[in-house]
Amino acid sequence: MGITIITKGEVLRGRIDYLLKAQTGADLLKAQSLLFRSEELLNQLLVVPVSQAASEQFDRLRIAPKLQKIGRADLLIASIALSNQATLVTRNLRHFRQIPGMRVVNWVD
């Protein structure tokens, strides 16, 4: 089990945004602590990169007319999952079920 490089980037971007929006010194310290903790946790996971196969899959998905409303990050995540024949665990079934060949499960709801 692992996460995509895109997912890792989304988590870290969210933590950095929180850090940059801190209103008080206490908020800043809390945000920094959360960023460091997130980095520690992410470093314990397998991070699946964008491979040549994933980049080619992305090129196919991004031009598919019926997938135009799916966000770029979701298409990148799907491309990585498809190129690794992986099952994607997500709460966002609505978008990912539209992608041909995707195996998707929701462990939360």
Q: How many C-beta atoms surround the C-beta of residue 44 within 10 A?
A: 6
pLDDT reading at 1 higher than 90:
no
Residues 6+ apart with CB under 8 A from 88: 77, 78, 81, 96, 102, 103, 104, 105
Q: How many C-beta atoms surround the C-beta of residue 107 within 10 A?
A: 7
pLDDT reading at 6 higher than 90:
yes
Average the pLDDT over 1-14 and give the result: 96
Local confidence band at 109 (pLDDT 50, 70, 90 cut-offs) = confident
* pLDDT digits 0-9 by tens, 35-88: 999 999 999 999 999 999 999 999 999 999 999 999 999 999 999 999 999 999
Classified as helix, coil or strand, 72 is helix
As a whole number, the mean pLDDT across the chain is: 96
Q: Cα(27)–Cα(45) distance, rounded to whole angstroms?
A: 27
Element (H, E) at 14: helix 5-20
